[in-house]
Each structure stands twice: as C-alpha cells, then as structure tokens.
Amino acid sequence: MKNIVVVGSQWGDEGKGKIVDWLSEQADIVIRFQGGHNAGHTLVIDGVTYKLRLLPSGIVRKNKISIIGNGVVVDPWALLEEIEEIKLKGVDVNIDNFIISEAANLILPFHREMDEIREDAAGKSKIGTTRRGIGPAYEDKVGRRSIRVMDLRSEKNLDQRLESVLVHHNAIRKGLGKKIFKKEQLKSDLLKIAPKILQFSQPVWLKIDNFKKQKKKILFEGAQGILLDVDHGTYPYVTSSNTVASSAATGTGCGPNSINYVLGITKAYTTRVGEGPFPTELTNSVGELLGTRGKEFGTVTSRKRRCGWFDGVLVRQTIKISGINGIALTKLDVLDELDEIKMCIEYELHGEKIDYFPAAVDDQLNIKPIYKTFAGWKTPTNKIKNINDLPENAKKYIFAIEDFIESKISSISTSPERDDTILVENPFEI
C-alpha cells in the first residue's frame, strides 16, 4: 500500500489536474482535503476536456471512489451544478463512487456576498479572491458558527445553526447598509437540496480507516499551491486554508502516518493569479509569450495569469515546508521557443543577498531576483516520452533545477495530454 499527497509547489495552476488524473488511474481512492470551488483542475482525456472545481479528479475514472474531506468548504448548489455538468459528459456520480464528509462546512449565499463586498471595498488593497465565499466560510468555521453537512439532517438543528450564523452576518450587513438575510427563506432553500447532498454524506475518517485496513491506495488531492497557504504563503495575499501536504491528514481525518509520499507539482516557469508579491514576474514580451503558449487563464475565473521565470528559491523553500519527496515538472514545452531561459537562484534585499523568501510582505515586495541564465533549445519538446530524447539544453535546465531545489524530478510533462509525460519514477511503485 502506498498513499500519496499531491500539492502545488508554487502559487497554484501548476498542472495538478493532469498529474492527479494519471495517478488516479493507479489509485483506488481520490480525496480532496482543503479549499473549495475557487480552485479548478483541467483534465484532458481522450480528447474530452473536464473542468473540475469541487469534485476530485478521480471522479472521471471508473471503479474509483472520490471523496470530499472535512477540510473542504462546500457550496452545495455549486456542487450539484458541477455533478450535473459532468454527467452530461458521460460521467456517473452516485453513492457508490462519491462521498462527502458529514463534517464538511457549507458555503452559503451570504458568504459569497461578503466576499464581493470586501473585495470591492478594498480598492487597491484587494487580495484578488475568486469572490466565491471561501474566506468568509472558513471564518465561520473557525468562529464555530458554521453550517456543516450533518446539520442538514434535522430541520430543528438547522434552524438553530442558522439563527447563530445570521446574528453575526446580519449585524455586519446592517452596518454596511446591506439587506439582511431571512432565516426562513434560507432554511427552505437548504432543506430543498438537503436530500441530494445527504445521500453522499458519510464519516470520512471511518471510511479512510477501513480503506487502509483493506490496503487500498489513496491519493490525497490538494488545491491551489503552497505559496497560497494561510500560514506559509505570501500573507495576506493567500487563500484561507492550509495548502501544505500535512493538511491532507487534518482535512480528511487520518494521521500523518497515512502519508507515504508527497509529490509537488512544479511548473517549469512561474505564474500567479490575483494580487501579491511575485519576484520573477515578467511584464514584457517574454511574459506575454509564456502566457500565450501556456494558455495561462484560470480554470474557474478565466482570469489572465501573471507569468515569470522559474523561482528556484521559492520552490526549494516550499519543498522543505511541505516535506515534498519529488516533483513533477510541468509545461516544459512552453519554453521551447525562447532564446534564453532564466532561473532565480538568490535574492537581493536592501543591498544584501539572501537565500530564502522572507515572511514580511514589505520585504517580499522589495526583493530583487538574481538569475542564472541558460541557453534555450529552440526545438519542440512536446510528445517526447523519454528523457534521453530531450534537447541537450533542455536536459541541462532540468538537471539544474533538480540540483538547486534539492529534490528529485519524478516526471516531466511535455503537453496537456496525459500520455505526454516522461516518467522518471512512479510514486506508487517506490
């Protein structure tokens, strides 16, 4: 038995969907453990594109069980909509292949509105959220006033829980001059969809314990990237959950000894969506080329991603923070047309050189990257499936990354297609 956690080692959008899909074919169980429908995965299978937001990537594979863990915040209406969308593409979602943790917290309409209100009011200080209510929902969870999946079972209990959460939110809404939410209408809306959600509800921690006894292979699927972690990311320009690998344990209800291997998905350059520090960002024609060739637009929001050179200092740091055993290097083919390629190997801050990414946002915004330059290979790498067939300059770049970040490269992706992957080692077989 081998259980694997997949996390993004940058700011998300590293191409986790393709790698998770490839691994899910070998896994028995695929579990989402944090985030919400603010992060999307794009899968391309036999020419069909699937854009998933809440559903784990394993849902598109037959004979796999997909689970949403307690660490995920769930918009029940968005989930039901996504289930219907994927059913239209021939994917069956039923009580045998899909489970939601009874302890998962719900995103409700006032969470989405509060997200929008705050972003609009912040002006230049906005975080750059997806405006889907993720942050406010996590706030209610920590504030112990959240509505959870299990609360949908009892109208009496739901009434009490709504009373508690609306006292908080309506007080804020009144102060902002916004219309208050009516408890009865919201309760009615939730009770209407409750049976559709509750049919999938189970104690996930118990299911995982049984799967472990049965020697099932479990794939823990992270959303976003480590640099968006609420503790270890570019705070306050972060998400509202912990995106590091250890979250797989708390976000599903299993101990850290359930994790055997951590795979970090790493783009061959760097991108970021939304506001916040980005030391290697390119606002010139090279940045535009990376964005165009890499089709750098958000799966969920369609927002254009900011693009820049590979930041080795950042990735080396996230590898240590998240306990990454190996990385899957993605989108190498996007660099094919460049004359030269740069990698950040150090920073300069106030005239001094530093070899780590500082925690203070002011320092993060003021650091200057120091680069090592590599000659480009100027030849297509897409469809290549053997590392020995790569251009020499591409191999030099890859090996330089591996040496600098102090982690093994386990695979190299050369196109969005699942089969266009150079496999160095299979995490499930180590």
Q: What angle do CA 391, 393, 397 make, to 5 degrees?
A: 120
Is 169 among the residues known to form the active site? no
Number of residues written out for the chain: 430
For residues 275, 81, 291, 304, the Cα torsion angle rounded to the nearest 10 degrees is -40
Catalytic residue (choose from 13, 140, 229, 311): 13
How many CB atoms neighbour CB 121 within 10 A? Answer: 10
Is 41 among the residues known to form the active site? yes
CB-CB contact of 224 with 245 (8 Å): no
Query: How many whole angstroms separate alpha carbon 197 and alpha carbon 191?
Result: 10
CB-CB contact of 318 with 238 (8 Å): no
Catalytic residue (choose from 37, 41, 169, 232): 41
**Side-chain-facing half-sphere of 4: CA atoms under 13 Å:** 28
Burial 264-282 (b: 16+ CB within 10 A, else e): bbbbbbbbbbbbbbbbbbb
**Largest pairwise CA distance in the chain:** 68
Task: Give which of 307, 317, 259 is closest to 287, Cα–Cα.
Answer: 307
CB-CB contact of 409 with 368 (8 Å): no
Residue 374: its H or E element: strand 368-375
Query: How many whole angstroms separate alpha carbon 158 and alpha carbon 76?
Result: 15
* Long-range pairs of 233-239 with CB within 8 A, sequence gap ≥ 24: 234/11, 234/276, 234/277, 234/361, 234/364, 235/359, 235/361, 236/127, 236/361, 237/127, 237/128, 237/274, 237/275, 237/276, 237/277, 237/361, 238/127, 238/276, 239/35, 239/38, 239/39, 239/134, 239/135
- In one-letter notation, the amino acid at residue 324 is I
How many CB atoms neighbour CB 128 within 10 A? Answer: 15
Annotated catalytic sites, by residue?
13, 41
